[in-house]
Amino acid sequence: MRTAAVVGAGMAGLAVAGALSRTGWRVVLLERGERIAAPPTALVLWANGRRALESLDPDGGWSAIASPLADGGIRRPDGQWLVTPRDATPTHAVVHLEDLFDALVAGLGDDVEIRTGFEVTSVRVGRQQRPVLGDGRTSVEADLVVAADGIDSAIRRVLAPEAAAVGSGFAAWQAVIPSYRVPAGFSAGERVDARSSAGEAVGAGSSAAEAVGTGFSAGETLGAGYRFVSVPLGERAAGKGGVYWVATAAGAPRPEPPAQQLALLRRWFGDWHEPVGALLDATDPAELVPQEVRELRPLPRTYAFGSGPGGVVLLGDAAHAMPHHLGQGACLAFEDAATLRSLTAPAAPGPELVAAIEEYSRVRRPRTTSVVRQTRRMSAVVQARGRLALRARDAALNHPRLLSQAPDTDWSPPD
């Protein structure tokens, strides 16, 4: 039987391990943590990510855990609209990570062998040998190795040392507020009454831009180097529903304990339109997930490394970690998994499998490079400070190339 070793039980590793197992691979999943654990946050699933998940596991029950994402538009800190809300696109969704991880773990079935507490520290490839992984005590050999071990991938550091994990110049804070603590009056997002005649986004200074939103609704707000996004979760999310928010600030991550970081966020965002202040006030420091935003620069030259009758592929953040501004990191990981599953499904170890993994890199590298480029354009928009830069930002937000070429619309599963 064909064998695969998947390294990392994050979203990417779980998705690909289940999918390979369902297409006839004997899979071992290696995770350095003592258990598989979902971060206590949520994720926006754009149309591409959702399509990928559905193709990976049509029986995954995704619609039961994902709630439709309302378009809350984009505002300035004073509440003025930069981009007015459009009708919700039913394919976009938000999902609590506990629910997503539960569904992905259920999708592993009984055939995937899970080894937790296994930290891969070495990888060996060669012309005549199958790839071999080690943790310093034992080794695991397989026809196919999938490195889904995140931005600091030990495997990528050996095979593609040209790609370095670097800070993107931002810090991010995420939290989920359970429904019983969501501020009264918070709503999923509303359409504004005053819209431009075309019903499109309005620019700064236009009369429609004066249409200050009614306040307590979800959506995105952009300040000078600061950003705040709030998204209501479905009532059933992680058994407690609630609201997910993510705040981003240009600069380094903060060293203070969570309570002080939350106090700092309340100061930075305190005079922003509601619900920003109300959501921060309703957040418990224990719910705060702070992190430095990082990315790979440059991306690895290839995502595939042949070894004997098979080889190693990079997948998810291990291959193309990027800032979260377009919310595409996990969606692209699911695309990777769907592509790899489809290409390797019919491939026997030997020339067929080697060709399949080369094709994986040939297909995935241009796709992910293009989304990384779009994300970097968005980084410049989010990072804008100073009057001129902010005017350029407001113009860019209404530029069709920034908004209409959304990376989620142009991808379909390979089969």
Ligand X SMILES: Cc1cc2nc3c(=O)[nH]c(=O)nc-3n(C[C@H](O)[C@H](O)[C@H](O)COP(=O)(O)OP(=O)(O)OC[C@H]3O[C@@H](n4cnc5c(N)ncnc54)[C@H](O)[C@@H]3O)c2cc1C
| Residues at the contact surface with ligand X, assessed by CB under 6 A | 7-13, 30-33, 43-44, 49, 119-120, 148-150, 154, 172, 174, 246, 291, 293, 316-317, 324, 327-331, 333
Tokens of 340: 């790899």
Q: How far is the CB of 30 from ligand X (least distance, A)?
A: 5
Distance CA 176, CA 363 (A): 36
Compute the chain's Rg from CA coordinates: 22
CB of 9 to ligand X, least distance (A): 5
Beta-carbon count within 10 A of 128 CB? 7
Residue 350 to residue 346: CA distance in whole angstroms: 12
Non-local (6+) Cβ contacts of 357 within 8 A are 144, 304, 306, 310, 311, 312, 313, 340, 343, 344
For the chain, the 3-state helix, strand and coil shares in percent, each to the nearest 5, are 35, 25, 40
Q: Which residue, 152 or 193, is less far from ligand X as judged by CB?
A: 152
- CB closer to ligand X, 16 vs 201: 16
- The smaller minimum CB distance to ligand X, of residues 326 and 356, is found at 326
Question: Residue 95 and residue 84: Cα distance in Å, rounded?
Answer: 24
Q: Which is closer to ligand X, CB of 83 or CB of 175?
A: 175
Report the candidate in 341, 332, 380 with the shortest Cα–Cα distance to residue 51.
Answer: 332
Query: Are the C-beta atoms of residues 15 and 315 closer than 8 Å to each other?
Result: no
| Residues 245, 249, 252, 254, CA torsion sign | negative
Minimum distance from residue 118 beta carbon to ligand X (Å) = 6
Supply the minimum distance, in Å, between the C-beta of residue 100 and ligand X.
10
Cβ-count burial 360-388 (b if 16+ within 10 Å, e if not): bbebbbebbeebbebbbebbebbbbeeee
**Rounded CA gap, 35 and 55, in Å?**
27
Shortest reach from residue 386's CB to ligand X, in Å: 25
The nearer residue to ligand X, 27 or 209, going by C-beta atoms, is 27
- The least CB distance from residue 149 to ligand X, in Å, is 4
The two structure tokens encoding residue 403: 């908004």
Q: Is-contact 152 32, C-beta < 8 A?
A: no
Q: How far is the CB of 31 from ligand X (least distance, A)?
A: 5
Taking the complex as a whole, the smallest distance from the CB of residue 222 to ligand X amounts, in Å, to 16
Residue number with CB closer to ligand X (209 or 293): 293
Nearer to ligand X, 13 or 232 (CB): 13
Q: Which of 117, 151, 135 shows the shortest CA–CA distance to 35?
A: 117
- What minimum distance in Å lies between the beta carbon of 399 and ligand X? 22
Distance of CA 34 to the CA centre of its chain: 23
Least distance between ligand X and beta carbon 174 (Å)? 5
DSSP 8-state assignment for residue 19: H
Indicate the residue among 117 and 185 with the shorter CB distance to ligand X: 117
Q: Which is nearer to ligand X, 43 or 304 (CB)?
A: 43
Rounded Cα gap, residues 310 and 290, in angstroms? 39
Q: Give all strands (DSSP E) within 60-105, no chain letters.
A: 67-68, 74-75, 81-83, 93-96
**Closer residue to ligand X, CB minimum distance, 29 or 202:** 29
